[in-house]
Amino acid sequence: MAVTPASRVPATELLDIASHGPVIPVIVIDRVPDALPLAEALLAGGVKVLEVTLRTAAGLPAIEAIARHLPEAVVGVGTVLDADDARRASQAGARFAVSPGYTAAVGSACQRLNLPLLPGVATSSEIMAALADGFSFLKLFPAEAVGGIALLKSWASPFARVSFCPTGGITQASAPHYLALPQVRCVGGSWLTPADAIRAGDWARITALARASHALRNAGPGSSE
């Protein structure tokens, strides 16, 4: 069932989230005690919008810890697969949701919760379904696997009113190529929070990666960043 216009969360809320920086870190947390020092390290590097995925059992309590103790962070939930994921994350304090694909059920659930949703798409049909339900800021996922920059360029004309946050396989080196596209508001990436750095508690390394991410939008496709 399509989302009714009266229930739609304004797209400006998600676009505001995208305005905080060129990269939204895609965070996988295995140990809840890592959540706060990791978020603090990212904040120290000027990255305040954090996507904590539900790929591990620690994801939900990590969101709750960050939301409770670090209100200056804009913590969201990733890997939202159904309405229950959205409900539990909203109760934990998530301020936005990200899904790997799009279904009307997930869209409707997020609208009912007043939880801004960044829906994942990989095809033109999925874009049309998301647009029909009121979503025009979308996540291209998995970006590199489905065509990446070439696909986004081919969509520029038929979907001129759609903007994107490509995620999946994007690196520090490839991010400037995506960010150079006019319809790309930001990118999602896991390179800001390397698993080995989290395991080692190397928060200084994560802060350095966060700081470096701010230059990516201006780095240009030919940069070695």
Query: What would the mean pLDDT of 182-196 be, rounded to a whole number?
Result: 97
139 catalytic, yes or no? yes
Confidence band, pLDDT 50/70/90 cuts, at residue 9: low
How, if at all, do strands 49-53 and 23-27 pair?
Answer: parallel
Q: How far apart are the two ends of the chain, measured CA to CA in Å?
A: 44
Query: What would the mean pLDDT of 2-25 be, rounded to a whole number?
Result: 71
48 catalytic, yes or no? no
Closest CA to 39 of 213, 149, 192, 142: 192
Catalytic residue among 51, 72, 126, 153: 51
Catalytic residue among 13, 139, 144, 225: 139
Q: What digits encode the pLDDT tens for the residues 60-95?
A: 999 999 999 999 999 999 999 999 999 999 999 999
Q: What digits encode the pLDDT tens for the residues 103-133?
A: 999 999 999 999 999 999 999 999 999 999 9
Give the gyration radius of the chain's Cα atoms: 16
Instruction: Kindly list the structural domains of the chain, giving each domain's residue range(s) and its CATH number in brackets, ordered by start.
Output: 5-210 (3.20.20.70)
The pTM (predicted TM-score) of the whole model is 0.92
How, if at all, do strands 49-53 and 187-189 pair?
Answer: unpaired
Q: What digits encode the pLDDT tens for the residues 150-163?
A: 999 999 999 999 99
Contacts of residue 103, Cβ cutoff 8 Å, sequence gap at least 6? none
pLDDT of amino acid 11: 63
